[in-house]
């Protein structure tokens, strides 16, 4: 008798992905207590696991829709938790946090709208959303590294330039999310 193929939830790739949740309090703790090297170490480890999890899963033939959704979900939690930590510790201006929060909400609304429209395939992805996520991750890495660098005008200029780029991609991504969400909730001809 042949067994139905099932998704293995406990895999090396999923373990690497989940390790970012373990690293999150280490990074937040380093930010909150001004122990920059702790935050940098945790963030470097998080980036390494993010780079390896999918590759390891594919190499071991353990890649799955569950693993991809887990990866996106944990990245979402990590990114926005760290932005909140930076804001709470006074290292992000209110206007920056509002822009980042709008990004989080638009992403969340797209996912909820997708689920409400019967999409059980996991996380909805858009090209602009992927670019925005990558830039947010890069900006976070920059902010964490700034925890151990001496403050300078050059760092302030790089910070402003990086945040401006992130803000532009957030604006484009948010517009794309609204269009995508509108398309998802549009009644189909067969529904009328």
Answer whether residue 5 is part of any domain.
no
Instruction: List alpha helices for 60-190, DSSP H.
Output: 65-88, 94-116, 127-146, 153-185
Would you say 126 and 107 are in contact if contact means Cβ atoms under 8 Å apart?
Answer: no
Answer whether residue 84 is part of any domain.
yes
Domain with 42 in it:
12-191
Answer whether residue 65 is part of any domain.
yes
Rounded to 5°, the CA angle 183-124-105 comes to 85
How many C-beta atoms lie closer than 10 Å to residue 18's C-beta? 15
Answer whether residue 100 is part of any domain.
yes
The pLDDT value recorded for residue 105 is: 87
Answer whether residue 159 is part of any domain.
yes
Please report the sign of the dihedral spanned by the C-alpha atoms of residue 123, residue 126, residue 131, residue 132.
negative
Answer whether residue 38 is part of any domain.
yes
User: Tell me, what DSSP letter sits at residue 90?
Assistant: T
The pLDDT value recorded for residue 122 is: 57
Mean pLDDT, consecutive 10-residue segments, the chain of 192 residues? 57 94 96 95 95 93 89 91 96 94 82 64 65 90 94 95 93 78 62 50
Answer whether residue 1 is part of any domain.
no
Q: Could you tell me how far CA 95 lies from the centroid of its own chain?
A: 20
140-159 in b/e form (b: 16+ CB < 10 A) is bbebbebbeeeeeeeeeeeb
Going by C-beta distance under 8 Å and a sequence separation of 6 or more, which residues neighbour residue 81? 24, 28
pTM for this one? 0.83
Answer whether residue 77 is part of any domain.
yes
- CATH number of the CATH domain containing 147: 1.20.120
| Residue 22, CA distances (Å) to 49, 107, 170 in order | 12, 23, 27
The pLDDT value recorded for residue 155 is: 95
Q: How many domains does the chain have?
A: 1
């Amino acid at each position: 008798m042949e067994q139905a193929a099932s998704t293995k939830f406990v895999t090396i790739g999923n373990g690497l992905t989940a390790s970012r949740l373990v690293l999150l309090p280490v990074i937040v703790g380093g930010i909150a207590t001004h122990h920059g090297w702790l935050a940098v170490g945790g963030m470097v480890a998080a980036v390494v696991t993010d780079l390896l999890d999918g590759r390891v899963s594919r190499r071991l033939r353990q890649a799955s829709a569950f693993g991809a959704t887990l990866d996106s979900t944990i990245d979402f939690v990590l990114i926005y938790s760290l932005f909140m930590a930076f804001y709470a510790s006074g290292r992000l201006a209110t206007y920056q946090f509002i822009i980042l929060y709008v990004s989080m909400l638009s992403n969340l609304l797209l996912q909820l709208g997708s689920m409400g429209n019967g999409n059980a395939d996991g996380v909805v992805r858009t090209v602009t959303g992927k670019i925005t996520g990558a830039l947010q991750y890069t900006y976070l890495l920059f902010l964490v590294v700034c925890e151990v660098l001496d403050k300078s005008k050059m760092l302030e200029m790089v910070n402003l330039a990086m945040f401006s780029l992130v803000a532009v991609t957030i604006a484009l991504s948010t517009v794309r999310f609204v269009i995508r969400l509108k398309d998802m909730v549009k009644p189909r001809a067969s529904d009328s």
